Structure formats: C-alpha cells, structure tokens
Amino acid sequence: MRAFLQRWMPSPTTASGAERLRAAIGALVGLLITAVLSHFVLSSSSATIFMVAPVGASAVLLFALPASPLAQPWSAIGGNVVSGLVGAACVRWLGDSLPLPLLCGVAAGAAIAAMFALRCLHPPGGAVALTTVIGGPAVHAAGFEFALLTVLVNTSLLVGMAIIYNNLTGRRYPHTQQAAHPNPHGTRDAVPTVRLGFKPEDLDAVLKQHDQVLDISRDDLESLFMKTEQRAYQRRFGIINCEDIMSRDIVSAEFATELEEAWQLMRRHHVAALPVLNRARRVIGIVTQTDFLDHGGLDSYGDIRRQLQRFLRKSGVTHTEKAEVVGQIMTHHPTTARLDTPIVDLVPLMADSGFHHIPVVDAEQRFAGIITQSDLVAALYESRFAEAAA
C-alpha cells in the first residue's frame, strides 16, 4: 500500500525555504494591492463585481512560477480575458439550449482551444470560463463586460505587481525567451559549447517528439541540460577550482591611473588586460586593449600610431571631454569568479560570451588573481591528459 501511495505522491520540491516564503509574500502583497486598487477603479464603473476568484490561481503562477511560459504577461492577461469572453459567448448563445453541466464543459474546452490558438495558455483561464458560466445573475448580466472590465483590470493589476515584486526580489519577469547562443563575433559559426555534446536542434527534435506542453521555457530547459553536462564532467574528471590555475602575480591599475601609464604597463608585461582595483583591492573594473581602441577612435586604422599617441597624451587642461585616466574607459562591474568556482563554470563565459579575462576574488571580495583563456585551455588539456594516462 505504501508503494502504491508513493506512486501518486509528487516529487519533493527543490525550492528553498526562502524561495517559498518569497512566493507566498508576493502572492499576499500582489492580491492585497490588486483587490484594493480594483475596488477603487471599479467602484465608479458599472461593474458589480470587483474581484474574481481565478486571479488567486494566477497569483500562484505569477509569484511562485515566474519563469513558467504559462505565467508570462500575455499568457496571464490574454488567457484570462479570452477565456472570459469565450464563457460569456457560450452563456449568451448556448445558455438556453444546453444543460448547465454540458455548458460548463463546452465553455472550458473552447477556452482552452482559444488560448492555444492565441498562444496565451494560462490554467486559471479555465476557471475564468467556468466562473462566467456558473457565476450567477450578476455575472450573466455583465456579459462581455465581465471579461473586458473586471477580469482585465484584476489580471492587469496583478501582472503589474508581479513585474515589480519579482524583479525586486531577484527573479527575471517577464521571463522572455533568450536568444539562442548568439555568436559574440557576429559570424555564422555556432558558439563553441554547442559544437560538441547535444545541440539545440537535438533539443528541438526531442521536444517535438515529446508532444506535450512543458511548464518550463525552452532556454531554461537547455540551460539545465548544459549545467547537468558540466556537473557530469566534474564528476568524471574531478573538480579543478579557479585558485588551482589562476595567475596570482598580476599587474593592475587604479581608477586614476593615467592612460599612457596603463598602456605602457600592458606593453611591458605583454598582457591584454588590467584589472582595476580600489584601495581595498576590490575589483571595480577591467581595462583591455579593446577599450583603448574603442575610446581612442582607432577603428579606422588610417594613422593608428599618431591617433594612439594623441589619445594617450595628457590634454594639459583642467576641463576636457577627452578621457584621461583608466576609470573613464574601463568596463565597470566586470564578471568575476570566486576562488572555489569550478573552472568548468567559466567555459560558457569564455567560449560563448567572449570573455578573455576573468578576475578572481576571495571570500571578502578582494582581488586574488585572474584567469585567462590560455589558463583555462591548459587546465582542461591537463585534466584530460591525466585521465588518459591513468
């Protein structure tokens, strides 16, 4: 009996206690403000109902599952309003000819078909259609106004609250579909991480073969597969952390380092980038040869030596629009790694996103070293060589 019951039990959730609390508080605040504003907005209109129950189900999706395709703004607003219109149409044109149980099924089924057709599938939409049918005289009297006024106002306000709350609490919403592995160099080549292993076309083929609606976006699903591959690699070849391979004796700059001095440092030490540190040795930026080229107007290559000398030379005046120090041309808030970050986590950043240098910081966020693409390639080569030799 226990084994039989376990087959019907859902798997344990992977959400942390903090995430559960975040979702619950979001639903509480979102529904409270939605109810108050809806009552204020609709009290001066002809609507006799200021709140509908299905928005409670919408709140579960919008605050607990903000990454779900079923919880996106068009899915929520379009799904609820379209379903309300379908339900009102069924009541008006079929209400006298069909028994109530059959009318409920027709309204819900037609609402699902409409949501599929308009790409706004939203589970609470079925409840909106059903509410329109069994809502009683007040809902029936409102007709299409029930969907176009009450449902629209309720859902729009709730979506607005979800946008504000989710983003304030660290959740990307709307969770728009991300571009599929854009090449940072603007060429037609696939990015390195999809040249081996499973490819996006493989995922598309499997999803088509699966032929079911998944409550997860395609890019999130692909990201999960990629991270699973990374963990499998770590388990097979061992974990190499950033502190194991990073360069430690690093030439760096400060915000106020003059451009000519920074350029000479890069030339003298044959490096292509300098981490920019503050006095507490925390990373505030990174300056690369590309930054000098971009800000120095050196992309024409006409007389590059003369242009570079003019850019590096101090202007000699107190007020100028010309960049004078590293802090004016550096990349602010660069991507960093921690000492204990596994190097396989850096592969997508360096291979796909075009990063050539990643500063490494310690537990106190102080600069500890830097990893270049050469360091990463060497480490991965050595790990595979050691595995083959064993």
pLDDT at 8: 76
Distance from C-alpha of 349 to C-alpha of 355, rounded to nearest angstrom: 6
> For the residues 131-140, what does the mean pLDDT come to?
93
pLDDT digits (tens, 9 = 90+) for 210-233: 888 777 777 778 777 777 776 776
Q: Which residues 6+ apart lie within 8 Å of 153 measured at CB?
A: 38, 41, 42
CB of 193 closer than 8 Å to CB of 353:
no
> How much is the pLDDT for 222?
76
Q: Which pLDDT value is given to residue 302?
A: 52
Which distant-in-sequence residues (6+ apart) come within 8 Å of 384 by Cβ? Answer: 237
Beta strands in the chain (DSSP E): 273-277, 283-288, 331-332, 337-338, 357-361, 367-372
pLDDT of amino acid 317: 63
In the prediction, which pLDDT does 52 show?
A: 95
Q: Report pLDDT for 387.
A: 59
Q: Which residue has the tokens 């376990």?
A: 6
Q: What residues contact residue 18 under an 8 Å CB cut-off, 6+ apart?
A: none
**pLDDT (tens digit, 9 = 90+) per residue, 291-326?**
887 777 655 555 566 666 666 677 666 666 678 889
Q: What is the pLDDT of residue 45?
A: 76
Band (156; pLDDT cuts 50, 70, 90): very high
Rounded average pLDDT over 24-31: 97
DSSP-derived pairing of the beta strands 273-277 and 367-372: unpaired
At residue 72, the 3 state secondary structure works out as coil
Half-sphere CA count of 5, side-chain side, radius 13 A: 2
How confident is the prediction for the chain on average, in pLDDT?
Answer: 85
Between 204 and 156, whose confidence is greater? 156
What's the token pair of residue 287?
């300056």
C-alpha span between 109 and 71 (Å, rounded): 20
* Of 15-29, 38-52, 233-247, 304-318, minimum mean pLDDT range: 304-318
Note the pLDDT of residue 299.
54
Q: pLDDT tens-digit profile of 55-95?
A: 999 999 999 999 999 999 999 999 999 999 999 999 999 99
Predicted confidence at residue 188, as pLDDT, reads: 66
pLDDT of residue 10: 74
Amino acid residing at 333? H
Most confident residue range from 2-11, 185-194, 327-336: 327-336
- Average pLDDT (331-338) is 92
The per-residue DSSP string of 136-173 comes to -HHHHHHTHHIIIIIIHHHHHHHHHHHHHHHHHTT--S
| Burial group, residue 75, by CB count within 10 angstroms (0-12, 13-18, 19+) | buried
Q: Which residues of 14-173 form beta strands (DSSP E)?
A: none
In the predicted model, is pLDDT for residue 234 greater than 90?
no
pLDDT of residue 383 exceeding 80? no
Scanning the structure block, which residue is given the tokens 């925390």? 282
Of the chain, the percentage scoring pLDDT greater than 90 comes to 53
Q: Is 350 left (phi over 0), alpha (psi -120 to 50) or beta?
A: alpha
Q: Encode pLDDT of 190-209 as tens digits.
A: 665 665 566 777 777 887 88
Res. 359: pLDDT tops 80? yes
Query: What mean pLDDT comes out for the span 148-175?
Result: 95
What is the spatial distance between Cα 322 and Cα 334, in angstroms, rounded to a whole number?
23
pLDDT at 235 over 70: no
Residues 6+ apart with CB under 8 A from 165: 26, 29, 30, 63
More confident residue, 122 or 343: 122
Distance (Å, whole) CA 133 – CA 147? 12
Judged by DSSP in three states, 351 sits in helix
At 100-119, the pLDDT tens digits run 999 999 999 999 999 999 99
Residues 132, 149: Cα–Cα separation, whole Å: 13
Strands 337-338 and 357-361: parallel
Cα separation, 262 vs 266, whole angstroms: 6
Share of the chain above pLDDT 70, in %: 83
